[in-house]
């Protein structure tokens, strides 16, 4: 079983991206459980969602504590995020991050904000970065096909799918591993 955490702030589309991701893995033939984390949310407060995937039925009905992979929408939350030692992290950032040599984790970075802004997704103050991040995540994880991501975006977004798929494609190309 694999556990994936999506971390950001309210309004960034965390829950929506989690739903798409759950569908992507479902199309890949996995069993999935998508669990948004609820509390006293509002715009700007931390928002988390988790996806569990497995080839067999998933029985764990409690929160994910240490995921195998995380997507970090907003770097200000980094200190609160847990990740397995050898996990995969995708960070939305323009910062020049250096990875510690002792770290067994695989770190990927992409500037999803500028991709979204370039495509006029959302506003410059609140760009819609979730689909871009999913595109980058596809490259980083390597366990689901871009075609299935496309399908999930199309099924969930209808007329808005086109431009979001573009964002995913751009991020897929732009993402790099540290």
Report the nearest approach of other proteins to the CB of residue 37 (Å). Answer: 9
Report the nearest approach of other proteins to the CB of residue 49 (Å). Answer: 10
Binding marks (x or -) toward other proteins, 63..102, rule CB under 8 A? x---------------------------------------
Is 32 or 138 the residue whose CB approaches other proteins more closely?
32
Contact 141, 75 (CB under 8 A): no
Report the nearest approach of other proteins to the CB of residue 66 (Å). Answer: 12
Residues 3-62 close enough to bind other proteins by CB under 8 A:
19, 22-23, 26, 31-36, 38, 58-62
83 Cα distance to chain centroid? 14
User: Any idea which residue has 């798409």 for tokens?
Assistant: 20
Report the nearest approach of other proteins to the CB of residue 90 (Å). Answer: 21
Contact 52, 33 (CB under 8 A): yes
* Token pair in block for residue 92: 């939305």
Is 21 or 171 the residue whose CB approaches other proteins more closely?
21
115 Cα distance to chain centroid? 15
CA distance 128 to 131: 8
Does 174 contact other proteins by CB under 8 A? no
Query: 67, exposed or middle or buried, with CB in 10 Å at 0-12, 13-18, 19+?
Result: buried
Question: Which residues sit at the interface with other proteins, rule CB under 8 A?
Answer: 19, 22-23, 26, 31-36, 38, 58-63
């Amino acid at each position: 079983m694999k556990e994936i955490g999506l971390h950001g702030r309210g309004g960034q589309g965390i829950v929506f991206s989690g739903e798409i991701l759950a569908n992507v893995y479902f199309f890949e033939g996995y069993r999935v459980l998508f669990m948004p984390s609820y509390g006293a949310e509002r715009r700007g407060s931390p928002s988390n969602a988790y996806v569990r995937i497995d080839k067999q039925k998933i029985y764990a009905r409690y929160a994910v504590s240490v995921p195998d992979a995380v997507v970090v929408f907003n770097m200000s939350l980094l200190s609160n995020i847990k990740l397995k030692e050898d996990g995969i992290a995708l960070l939305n950032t323009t910062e020049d991050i250096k990875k510690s040599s002792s770290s067994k984790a695989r770190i990927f970075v992409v500037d999803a904000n500028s991709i979204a802004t370039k495509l006029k997704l959302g506003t410059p103050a609140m760009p819609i970065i979730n689909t871009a991040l999913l595109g980058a995540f596809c490259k980083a994880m390597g366990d689901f096909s871009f075609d299935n991501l496309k399908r999930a975006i199309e099924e969930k977004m209808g007329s808005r799918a086109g431009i979001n798929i573009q964002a995913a494609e751009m991020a897929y190309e732009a993402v790099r591993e540290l």
